[in-house]
Structure 1
Amino acid sequence: MIKRIKLRALLIGGFITLLFVVLLIRVFTLQVVKGQDWHERAVFQWTRNVTIPASRGMITDRNGDVLASDIPAYTVIVNPAVIHENGLENEIIEGLHNILGKDESELKELVNAKKDGKYRPGREVRNEGWKVDETKKAQIDDFNKELMDQLEKEKKGMETGLGLLKEQKRYYPNGTLAAHILGYTDRNGEAVAGLEAYIDDYLKGTPGEMKYESDRQGDQLPQANMVYKPAFNGKNVKLTIDDTIQYYIEDAMKETYEQYKPISMTVIAANPKTMEILGMANLPTFNPNTYWDPATDQKDFFNYAVKATYEPGSTFKIVTLAGAVQERLFNPNAFYQSGQIYVKGTHTPLHDIVRSGWGQITYLEGVKRSSNVAFVKLGSEMLGKDRLLKYINDFGFGQKTGIELPGEISKTINLPGPVEVATASYGHGVSVTPIQQLAAISAVANGGKLLKPHIIKEITDPDNGKVIKSTNTDVVRQVISPEAAKETSSYLEQVVADRAIGTGKHAYIEGYRVAGKTGTAVKYGPDLKPDYSKSVVSFIGFAPVNDPKIALIVIVDQPNDPDVGGGMVAAPIFKKIVSQALPYMGVPKSNTKKTSNGKTTVERPEAPTLTKLAVKDAKQKLLNAGVDFETIGKGASVIRQFPAAGTPMSPGQRIYLLTEETDKMTVPDLKGESLRDALDILTLLKCSVTVQGEGYVSEQLVTDKNGKRSVQLTLKPVKDDETSEDASSSSTEGGSISEDTSADDLADGKSGKEAGDN
């Protein structure tokens, strides 16, 4: 018996000892072996870690006007448990439906949300209630107050189950303005497109944090340790664009977009002396504040200015012209046979817009009329493949410009054979981007320097205002000499100044000297044949010629009228934008001056003295002055001029130079001339005139009685004398356009639709 008791005591004691040993081991394991781990878990439970968000940097225009910034935003939250406790389900559903426009069935699902059989404590109302603005917040606050008043009357709790979580969101105060430049951030604040994505590392900043010890309710404990790491806000970015010029651009584009319903439009403006981008826009466009709108198509986000290539057509002739001038191959007074030309080794000719041509004309007239034949002779016969390709590359084609925008593309330009050399001379068979074209025309405007385009002016630290990065003018290379650039500009000015035959006449701006070039590229269908109902029309130019302040390119992809060209559609857009931008930029008109009392008066410049000058010298004098002119006769010197020297000239008025005695000259063909121009010529020839009808000269009858010549003019109104340009194929990524084709295919096109206001 005693032994059993002792045995039991021994067993119990041993068991207790074993338990004690196990307990000691467990305590040792928890407090020593895993002590640090458990300590960290405990600290984690009573430590609160609060993230301090960093504000995204502002984006402004060159004058400091805000284009993108962070603003307070509020997310609507519902608490199903509280809502059901107070019986506010129907009121909440109806009220939020009216304020946010969210579907009632979706709201009902949120209000009735459960987990493990219990109503959930909190749900965000997405997407309609996610990061709403101050207006919606005020409506929610008013609605919440109404619910609280209702609860007070019913003597229920004071919580409605409806609340707002304060956050921040990206806001674009001007809506669609400069959307393709800015891009956007998604609703989580992540950069998606445009400059927002391209310079995200500068804009996004670094979030901070705050750590502190707290009780079970999350309140900070007295005298508790706290670790504070401040947030560093994103850097502010100032762009080169001017929001006023940007508005001029987008406003002018909308008018044409509504009229011609094209697939897309692109306009870029720059200061040609620095290549700072003053404005850039595409249509269709989008609103970065509501990028998720179902009505927004994916193509609306595409920035054609840097991401699309297209076949330029006759705007590309500026390269051929500049190269020929630089190499001293271009003689504006030399004659050639217009109409058609054969490329070596081919049996099908390349044509001008008028297949029969205009007869023997000067190269300057060929530039004004945008004669394909003239440019084939300049590019293929005079410059040749190697020099033409050199100027194409030197002007920046076939390589990215390096502008600070995402997605820029470029296509290499090769000229494998004589046909490709000939057609490239007038802009066929080459693919370029709008930004490349603008950089090239700016090189002509600024004295021959190809510059790298920039859209970022400077980046500053918002905390101290210091500039951490600024953009300078970057010269890529000197393409042509300043003298050659000035001469090329004078010829391009004639394209606009000649109101009779200049293809760019619709870009003429009274009081400003404008240089430019039109372009029309006919698209090709799946069968590689030209589709004359579809084309890409464009205009590129700069002003004022004597001191360029703005260069502009306008591209309209497939206007709904197949009979219009770059001169009809794109040139007027250029005119509207530039005629607004130059006065805004403080550029005075050349025919205005301020009087002593501060009033502005219009001056009419006097016709210069040109008689007795050699024809070559007279023409050069007028080219330098940007005055349109026409030579009558084939003499070597100027015998008489109209208007006479010292006569005040009207804006855009042409000067006529008579080089032969009138009794030895035949009356030139005046068909197609305006009445004013016809009268000026006949006055110079000392002919009496009778006129029938109104409009433009359609017929003329010359009679000679007793040695006195008389001319009867018959006038008829005509449709817009705009024509469309050289039948080029096009290739536009993201927007349209088709494959290259051969010169023989080009020549087989329909007469009168194959080349244009060039």
Structure 2
Amino acid sequence: MIKRIKLRSLFIGGCITLFFLVLVGRVFWIQVLQGDFWQKRAADTWAHTTIIRAQRGQITDRNGSMLASDVPAYTVVVEPDVIQEQGIRDEVVEGLHGILNKPVSELEELIDAKDKDGNLYKNREVRNEGWKVDQEVADKITEFAKKLEKEHDIRETGVGWVKDQKRYYPKDSLAAHVLGYTDRDGKAVAGLEYFYDKLLKGTDGYLDYQSDGKGVKLPDAAETYKPVVNGDKLRLTIDSTIQYYIEDAMKEAYDEYQPKSMTVIAADPNTMEILGMANLPTFNPNEYWKTQDQGDFYNHAIKSIYEPGSTFKIVTLAGTVQEKLFDPNAKFQSGQIRIKGYSRPLHDIKRAGWGQITYLEGVKRSSNVAFVKLGYEMLGQDKLKQYIDNFGFDEKTGIDLPGEVKGRITPEWPVEFATLAYGHGKVQVTPIQQLAAVSAVANGGKLLKPHMVKEIADPNTGKVTVTKPEVVRQVISAETAKKTGSYLEQVVADQEIGTGRHAYIEGYRVAGKTGTAIKVEGQNYDNSKVLVSFIGYAPVNDPKIAVIVIIDEPNAEVGGGTAAAPVFKKIVSQSLEYMGVPKVYTEKDKKAGKAQTAAASVRKTPNLVGQNMKSAKEELIDQGFDFESVGGGPSVVSQYPAAGTALSSGQKVYLLSEQGDKPTIPDLRGESLRDALEVLTLLKVGIQVDGEGYVSKQQESVNNGKTKVSLTLKPDEQMGEESDTASAEAGDPSTQPTSELTSELTSDLNTGENAASSN
């Protein structure tokens, strides 16, 4: 018995000893051999990190109007295990479908989903319909959850939301291609959001601390704090009002012509600050996922290259003016021209041409032959290519937007250099390159780097970095730029033959150039597909805005002058008035015939009598007057209107030289009766008038050796009844009966044989 007790005691003692040894070994294993592992495991249990999200920088226009900012957002979440436990699955599916418009099948799949162990998920986000929704949707979710609680007398419904933040663009699609967007995860995707992402997104902060199992912070525990660095704020050069003018004018033309795409850029030519940039089709960055066609995200203004056509002639013109090769009064044979080694002739849009015309008329009519002679024959291949490179067409402009490409200028054969002079063949450019080039003409010859951001402000330090204009190079002299601008002004000012006449803006001096380029399909030109454009600036005497308009494949047979120029006109006229640029004269002046405004507000005719005809023409060109010379004499013997006369918009200056036996009669169509009679009276010819209003037709005849001109008049269809009444009250001669006006003028100006006849 005693022995049995001893054996039991020994066994129990051995077991206790063995257990103790195992316990000691286990403690040694855990605390010594695995000490580092368990120490880290314990630290992870009581250590916590709270992320402090950085605020993405705001983007505003030049005047502080908000274009992009972070705003509170809410993500809808569900708890499948709670929903199933409460037995409200079908009600939740139906309710969320009504609020979020998410398909029922997808909601059922979301709520019924299980993990790999076969357990229902505890939390799931409702994407994409419930992801980062606004306050209104979050409020509806809250009301729905409360309704479930009340109807089922439960505390937990498994339906709710978590607070978040998202990028918001308050003006929707306005300037979408400039701003770009961030996706739902906050990742920058395109535009300025992408280009300046590092500055905009900032750096998240954090707080490391230790707590017990209930989350209560441990006293005297070590903690690490890194402050948040919010993103920089961008103030753009864009003016949201001008941007609106651009997009509004584009939509009107887009609806009419249904083109493949449209692009417009506006800039201050003195600084190359971009005032507006837009493309159609476009997208809404707040709902970018709804845009199916990826081409709608494409910013053609900086990413597309195209054959420019006649707008490129500005470079050729500027080069020949700089080299003192351009004589506006010299003449050439229009129609066609042959290039040595090339079998087919190059020709004008009007293949028969206009006969012997001056180079200035060639510019107005956009004669290809004129520019082949100027660029290929006068400048020569090397000089022409040098000016093209100097104007920046062989390099990127460096604009602060992602994805910019550069043009391709690759002529090899003589005929390719000849067509290069008028913007066809081996030449492809971007819209932003062209705008930078024409701005150099506008600003006195300086090629500037275009930019989108006016200043960058650091909200953490208050530091503000201002973007200053950057001169790339001086491409032409200020004198050359002024002269080139005066010739381009004639393209718009000449309301009879100027290809840019539809860009004429009442009260502002406008310079510009049209372009119509047939597109290449494969290896050949496809006449059914064209790209039409207009580029220009205003006012010529003090440029405030330069604009390029491009319409790719309009659905009608139109050119740059008929389709793109009116878009330019609408944008620039609205923008100049918005910018407070005063008009030289007003639309009311034109409606009132030749009624004069205050002397300070109109331009007056210079005294040209006695000057030689060449210098008189140059003076009028330089000052931006539309004019016509009559006769072939070397000097000006008379002029109309007389020196010092205040001119209304669109009124021509007529220069008369010595006349032979048979006087030269100018084209007077479109002129008022008073102007027509004044000019014809100076020419000492007989006059016959039929009708009232403005000259619609004229016919010459000779009776007893004396030249007689018959004028057919028609009323100005644009003059409303109210304008006519106002004009009559103001004493506008155009509202007087034809016979009275003719008699009045002839009696005032002439006697005897010089008197004009009237029927």
Aligned: 1:272 with 2:273:
no
> Secondary structure of the residue that 2:397 maps to in structure 1?
coil
> Secondary structure of the residue that 1:211 maps to in structure 2?
strand
Aligned: 1:73 with 2:73:
yes
Q: How many angstroms apart in 1 are the aligned matches of 2:697 and 2:418?
A: 37
| Counterpart for residue 42 of structure 1 | 42
1:444 pairs, out of 441, 447, 450, with 441
Provide closer, same or farther for how the CA distance between residues 683 and 76 of structure 1 changes in structure 2, counting only shifts above 3 A.
farther
Aligned: 1:332 with 2:333:
no
Q: How many angstroms apart in 2 are the aligned matches of 1:421 and 1:241?
A: 37
2:706 pairs, out of 700, 703, 708, with 708
Return the letter of the residue paired with 1:183. G
| Counterpart for residue 186 of structure 1 | 183
Deviation at 1:699, TM superposition (A): 7.1
Aligned: 1:558 with 2:556:
no
Under a length normalisation based on structure 1, what TM-score does the superposition of the two structures give?
A: 0.87
| Counterpart for residue 345 of structure 1 | 341
> Secondary structure of the residue that 2:661 maps to in structure 1?
helix
> Secondary structure of the residue that 1:107 maps to in structure 2?
helix
Return the letter of the residue paired with 2:138. K
> Secondary structure of the residue that 1:292 maps to in structure 2?
helix
Deviation at 1:15, TM superposition (A): 7.3
Provide closer, same or farther for how the CA distance between residues 222 and 640 of structure 1 changes in structure 2, counting only shifts above 3 A.
same
> Secondary structure of the residue that 2:122 maps to in structure 1?
coil
2:511 pairs, out of 512, 515, 531, with 515
| Counterpart for residue 540 of structure 2 | 545
Deviation at 1:617, TM superposition (A): 1.8
Deviation at 1:167, TM superposition (A): 0.5
> Secondary structure of the residue that 1:535 maps to in structure 2?
strand
Provide closer, same or farther for how the CA distance between residues 114 and 679 of structure 1 changes in structure 2, counting only shifts above 3 A.
farther
| Counterpart for residue 159 of structure 2 | 162
| Counterpart for residue 367 of structure 1 | 363
Aligned: 1:57 with 2:57:
yes
2:607 pairs, out of 592, 596, 609, with 609
Counterparts of 1:192-231 in structure 2, within 5 Å, are: 192-221=189-218, 224-231=221-228
| Counterpart for residue 174 of structure 2 | 177
Tell which deviates more after alignment, 325-334 or 138-147.
Answer: 138-147
Does the 8 A contact of 2:630 with 2:664 survive in 1? no
Does the 8 A contact of 2:490 with 2:626 survive in 1? yes
> Secondary structure of the residue that 1:109 maps to in structure 2?
helix
Q: How many angstroms apart in 2 are the aligned matches of 1:694 and 1:303?
A: 52
Does the 8 A contact of 2:211 with 2:217 survive in 1? yes
Aligned: 1:322 with 2:318:
yes
| Counterpart for residue 99 of structure 1 | 99
> Secondary structure of the residue that 1:73 maps to in structure 2?
strand
Tell which deviates more after alignment, 393-402 or 690-699.
Answer: 690-699
Does the 8 A contact of 1:514 with 1:543 survive in 2? yes
Does the 8 A contact of 1:662 with 1:685 survive in 2? no
Return the letter of the residue paired with 1:472. K
Return the letter of the residue paired with 1:371. S
Aligned length: 705
Does the 8 A contact of 1:671 with 1:699 survive in 2? yes
Q: How many angstroms apart in 1 are the aligned matches of 2:534 and 2:5?
A: 115
Q: How many angstroms apart in 1 are the aligned matches of 2:712 and 2:420?
A: 41
> Secondary structure of the residue that 1:477 maps to in structure 2?
strand
Deviation at 1:607, TM superposition (A): 2.5
| Counterpart for residue 737 of structure 1 | none
Deviation at 1:393, TM superposition (A): 0.2
Return the letter of the residue paired with 2:531. V
Q: Alpha-carbon deviations, 1:216-270, whole Å to 9, x = none?
A: 3444445654433222111111111111111111111111011110011111111
| Counterpart for residue 26 of structure 2 | 26
Q: How many angstroms apart in 2 are the aligned matches of 1:106 and 1:679?
A: 82
Provide closer, same or farther for how the CA distance between residues 16 and 412 of structure 1 changes in structure 2, counting only shifts above 3 A.
same
Q: How many angstroms apart in 1 are the aligned matches of 2:506 and 2:664?
A: 34
| Counterpart for residue 134 of structure 1 | 135
Q: How many angstroms apart in 1 are the aligned matches of 2:156 and 2:2?
A: 73
Tell which deviates more after alignment, 278-287 or 45-54.
Answer: 45-54
| Counterpart for residue 730 of structure 2 | none
Deviation at 1:634, TM superposition (A): 1.8
Does the 8 A contact of 2:626 with 2:653 survive in 1? yes
Return the letter of the residue paired with 1:80. P
Q: How many angstroms apart in 1 are the aligned matches of 2:434 and 2:618?
A: 28
Does the 8 A contact of 1:592 with 1:602 survive in 2? no
> Secondary structure of the residue that 1:405 maps to in structure 2?
coil
Deviation at 1:575, TM superposition (A): 0.7
2:564 pairs, out of 537, 561, 570, with 570
Deviation at 1:120, TM superposition (A): 2.7
Provide closer, same or farther for how the CA distance between residues 601 and 279 of structure 1 changes in structure 2, counting only shifts above 3 A.
farther
Aligned: 1:618 with 2:616:
yes
| Counterpart for residue 289 of structure 2 | 292
Does the 8 A contact of 2:585 with 2:648 survive in 1? no
Provide closer, same or farther for how the CA distance between residues 162 and 466 of structure 1 changes in structure 2, counting only shifts above 3 A.
same
| Counterpart for residue 647 of structure 2 | 649
Q: How many angstroms apart in 1 are the aligned matches of 2:627 and 2:458?
A: 56
Counterparts of 1:463-482 in structure 2, within 5 Å, are: 463-467=460-464, 469-482=465-478
Deviation at 1:604, TM superposition (A): 4.3
Deviation at 1:83, TM superposition (A): 2.3
Higher relative contact order (CA 8 A, sep 6+): 1
Return the letter of the residue paired with 2:480. A
Q: How many angstroms apart in 1 are the aligned matches of 2:424 and 2:348?
A: 13
Tell which deviates more after alignment, 325-334 or 236-245.
Answer: 236-245
Deviation at 1:342, TM superposition (A): 0.7
Does the 8 A contact of 1:210 with 1:229 survive in 2? yes
1:630 pairs, out of 628, 631, 648, with 628
| Counterpart for residue 307 of structure 2 | 311
Tell which deviates more after alignment, 677-686 or 31-40.
Answer: 677-686
Counterparts of 1:102-121 in structure 2, within 5 Å, are: 102-115=102-115, 116-121=117-122
Q: How many angstroms apart in 2 are the aligned matches of 1:175 and 1:411?
A: 32
| Counterpart for residue 748 of structure 2 | none
Q: How many angstroms apart in 2 are the aligned matches of 1:79 and 1:677?
A: 85
Does the 8 A contact of 2:307 with 2:519 survive in 1? no
| Counterpart for residue 751 of structure 1 | none
Q: How many angstroms apart in 1 are the aligned matches of 2:666 and 2:128?
A: 74
List alignment gaps of at least 5 residues for structure 1: 594-598, 718-758
Return the letter of the residue paired with 1:537. V
Does the 8 A contact of 1:662 with 1:686 survive in 2? no
Q: How many angstroms apart in 2 are the aligned matches of 1:671 and 1:590?
A: 25
Does the 8 A contact of 1:592 with 1:601 survive in 2? no
RMSD between superposed Cα atoms in Å: 2.9
Does the 8 A contact of 1:339 with 1:359 survive in 2? yes
Q: How many angstroms apart in 2 are the aligned matches of 1:36 and 1:688?
A: 116
Q: How many angstroms apart in 1 are the aligned matches of 2:614 and 2:401?
A: 47
Return the letter of the residue paired with 1:533. S
Does the 8 A contact of 1:206 with 1:232 survive in 2? yes
Does the 8 A contact of 2:632 with 2:659 survive in 1? no
Q: How many angstroms apart in 2 are the aligned matches of 1:699 and 1:215?
A: 99
Provide closer, same or farther for how the CA distance between residues 676 and 508 of structure 1 changes in structure 2, counting only shifts above 3 A.
farther
Does the 8 A contact of 1:195 with 1:405 survive in 2? yes
> Secondary structure of the residue that 1:291 maps to in structure 2?
helix
Tell which deviates more after alignment, 528-537 or 470-479.
Answer: 528-537
Q: Alpha-carbon deviations, 1:131-185, whole Å to 9, x = none?
A: 001121222222233223323xxxx322222111000001111100111111111
List alignment gaps of at least 5 residues for structure 2: 588-596, 716-759
